[in-house]
Amino acid sequence: DTGVSQNPRHKITKRGQNVTFRCDPISEHNRLYWYRQTLGQGPEFLTYFQNEAQLEKSRLLSDRFSAERPKGSFSTLEIQRTEQGDSAMYLCASSSTLPGQIFPANYGYTFGSGTRLTVV
């Protein structure tokens, strides 16, 4: 397992189009998080899953955003009717609450390299 993988690395889309990003977490990790990072700022929490259940959503996650984690493995983040304000880096991270796992939830997470979205 080589860590958290995010695809694509870059996405340029026209305003109004829909986009979908994918995150593959560390396979043993049961928690998966999505963050958004705008230029020069720290990441902001969007949502997180424990296994397949989406347990928390930030108010930043408008109704144009939807995230899924079918079967508790990979996750997708979809943005519908993109706006220029959606341009940002979208970061995925995973962690484990299971005993004996590396990076338990009381540590930090393992982050992916992010997907940079540009809406033109």
Q: How far is the CB of 31 from other proteins (least distance, A)?
A: 7
93 touches other proteins by CB under 8 A: yes
Give the separation between CA 84 and CA 105, rounded to whole angstroms. Answer: 34
Beta bridge partners of 64: none
26 touches other proteins by CB under 8 A: no
Residue numbers 57-86 binding other proteins by CB under 8 A: none
Beta bridge partners of 56: 48
25 touches other proteins by CB under 8 A: no
| Cα distances (angstroms) measured from residue 114 to each of 1, 15, 37, 52, 101 | 18, 21, 9, 21, 24
Closer residue to other proteins, CB minimum distance, 14 or 39? 39
> Could you tell me which stretch among 19-27, 66-74, 75-83, 90-98 binds other proteins (CB under 8 A)?
90-98
Ordered strands of the 65-68 beta sheet: 5-7, 19-24, 75-79, 65-68
94 touches other proteins by CB under 8 A: no
Binding other proteins by CB under 8 A: which of 2, 27, 40, 84? 40
Q: What share of the chain is helix, strand, coil (3-state, %, to 5)?
A: 5, 50, 45
Which residues form the interface with other proteins (CB under 8 A)?
A: 31, 33, 35, 40-45, 48, 55-56, 89, 91, 93, 95, 105-109, 111-114, 116
